[in-house]
Structure 1
Amino acid sequence: MDKGNQTTVIEFIFVGFSDVVQLQYFLFVIFLCIFKVSLLAHMFIIILYRCSPNLHTPMYFFLANFSILEICYLSTIVPKMLIDLLLQQKTISYYGCAIQMYCFLVLGSTECYMLATMAYDRYNAICHPLLYNNIMSRVVCIRLVIGSWLIGTTVAILQTTFVFLLPFCGSNRINHFYCDIPPLMNLACSNTRFNEIATFIIASFLIVGSFLLTIISYANIIWTIVKNHPASNRKKAFSTCTSHLIVVTMFYGSGTIMYLRPKSRYGMDDGKFLSLMYTIIAPMLNPFIYSLRNNDVKCAVRKIVYEIKLAH
Structure 2
Amino acid sequence: MSPPYSIRWTSRLIRRDIKVLAAGCTSKVRNLFSRSANASTSTPHVRVEIERPIDTIDLQEATFTSSEPSFFGSSAEDTESTAPTQVTEATPEASNTLYELLDTRLKDLYASRDRDVSLEDRWLFRGAWLLLHMATQYCASNPSYYILGGGTSGISEATLLLEILQYSVSKPLETPSTDVGRMPTMPYTKCDDDSTRRDSGCCTTSLPPPPSLAFLWYGILAGATDQAKTIRAAECLLGHVWPEKNATAVLEVVGNPAKRLSEDESTELRDQLSLLLYPEYGALCCRL
TM-score, normalized by length of structure 1?
A: 0.28
Larger helix proportion of the pair: 1
Bigger relative contact order, structure 1 or 2 (CA pairs below 8 A, ≥6 apart):
1
